[in-house]
Structure 1
Amino acid sequence: MQLGINTLPQELIDAIIDENQDDQAALRACSLVARPWTYSSQRHIFSRVHFRNHSQCYYPGKLYRTSCEINRFHNLISTRPHLASFVRTLEVEPILDAAQEQLLACTLQKLVNLECISLDLGGYYWDELSQCMRDALITTIRSPRITNLELREGLFLRCADFLALLGACEHLKRLSLSAMSCDDLEEFVQADAAVTLPSGLNLQLDSLALSLYEQSYLPLMHRLLQLQPSMDLSHLHRLSVLTAGSGHLSERIEATKEILKLNSNSLQHLVLNVCLGGKSAY
Structure 2
Amino acid sequence: MVKPIPNELVESILDHLHSDKGTLLNCALVGRAWVHSSQQGIFREIVLDLPLPHISITDYTTQIENFLKTTEWLISSFDTSPRLASYVRSLLLVKFRKFPEAAVSYQEAVYTATANIVRRLSNVGVDKVLLLVQWNDLSHSLKTALTDMLRAPQASVTQLSLVQFVISTFAEVAALLSHMPHLKMLRIGLFCANWDVPNSSLESAMTGTVGCPPRSIQLEKLQFDSEQELTSFASWFQQDCCPFSVQNLQELELFHYVGGSNNSVFHLGYTPNIHSLRLVIWQGGMNSDTPVPWIQSLFTPLLDLDSRDNTISLRRLIIDLNQPHTQWNNEWALLDALLAKSEFVQLETVQFNLLASYYVSWESLKEKLPLLDGSGKLKVSGRAKRVIIRSG
CA deviation after TM superposition for structure 1 residue 195, in Å: 7.2
Residue by residue over 1:226-245, the C-alpha shift from the partner in whole angstroms, topping out at 9 and shown as x without a partner, is 346521011112222234x3
Which residue matches 1:162? 173
**Counterpart selection for 2:31 from 22, 31, 34:** 34
Alpha-carbon distance, 1:115 to partner: 1.6
TM-score of the superposed pair, with normalisation by structure 1:
0.78
Query: What is the TM-score when the length of structure 2 is the normalising length?
Result: 0.58
Residues 88 and 197 of structure 1, relative CA distance in 2, 3 Å threshold: farther
| 48, 51, 64: which one aligns with 1:51 | 48
Q: Using the alignment, how far apart are the partners of 1:194 and 1:21 within structure 2?
A: 41
| Alpha-carbon displacement from aligned partner over 1:125-180 (angstroms, at most 9, x marks no partner) | x22222211111101111331222111112222221111111232332211112x1
User: What's the CA shift string for 1:45-74, capped at 9, x where partnerless?
Assistant: 21110112448589xxxx997442322321
Given that 2:111 and 2:138 are in contact with CA atoms closer than 8 Å, whether structure 1 keeps it comes out as no
Partner of 1:88: 89
1:222 aligns with 2:234: yes
SS of the equivalent of 2:262 reads helix
Match of 2:118 in 1: 108
Match of 1:120 in 2: 132
1:231 aligns with 244
Percent of pairs identical after alignment? Answer: 25
- 1:231-250 aligned at under 5 Å gives the runs 231-243=244-256, 245-250=257-262
Q: Distance in 2 between matches of 1:54 and 1:32?
A: 31
1:269 has 2:276 as partner: yes
Matched positions, count: 259
SS at match of 2:92: strand
Query: d(CA) in 1 for partners of 2:253 and 2:201?
Result: 24
Find the aligned partners of 1:241 and 1:250 in 2 and give their Cα distance: 13
RMSD in angstroms over aligned alpha carbons?
3.0
2:178 is paired with a residue of what secondary structure?
A: helix
The structure with the larger Rg is: 2
Matched AA of 2:220: D
Note the residue ranges of structure 2 that are not aligned, 5 or more in a row: 100-106, 205-209, 282-290, 297-334, 345-349, 351-392
C-alpha distance in structure 2 between counterparts of 1:78 and 1:200, whole Å: 32
Hey, what's the Cα distance between the residues in 2 that align with 1:210 and 1:196?
26
The question of whether the paired residues in 1 share the 8 Å contact of 2:179 and 2:211 is answered with no
Per-residue deviation, residues 247-281 of structure 1 (Å, max 9, x unmatched): 42312xx334x2x233333x333322254143145
Q: 1:226 to 1:183 in 2, by over 3 A?
A: farther
Q: Is the Cα–Cα contact under 8 Å of residues 160 and 186 in structure 2 kept in the other structure?
A: yes
Report the Cα distance in structure 2 between the residues aligned to 1:176 and 1:227, rounded to whole angstroms: 20
Extract unaligned runs of 5+ from structure 1.
none
SS at match of 2:278: strand
Which of residues 119, 122, 140 is equivalent to 2:149?
Answer: 140
Structure 1 position 86, deviation (Å): 0.7
In structure 1, how many angstroms separate the alpha carbons of the residues matched to 2:261 and 2:220? 27
C-alpha separation between the residues in 2 aligned to 1:197 and 1:89? 31
- Residue by residue, what CA displacement relative to the aligned partner does 1:188-235 show, whole Å, maximum 9, x if unpaired? 25x8x56788525232111111111x4x14423423433465210111
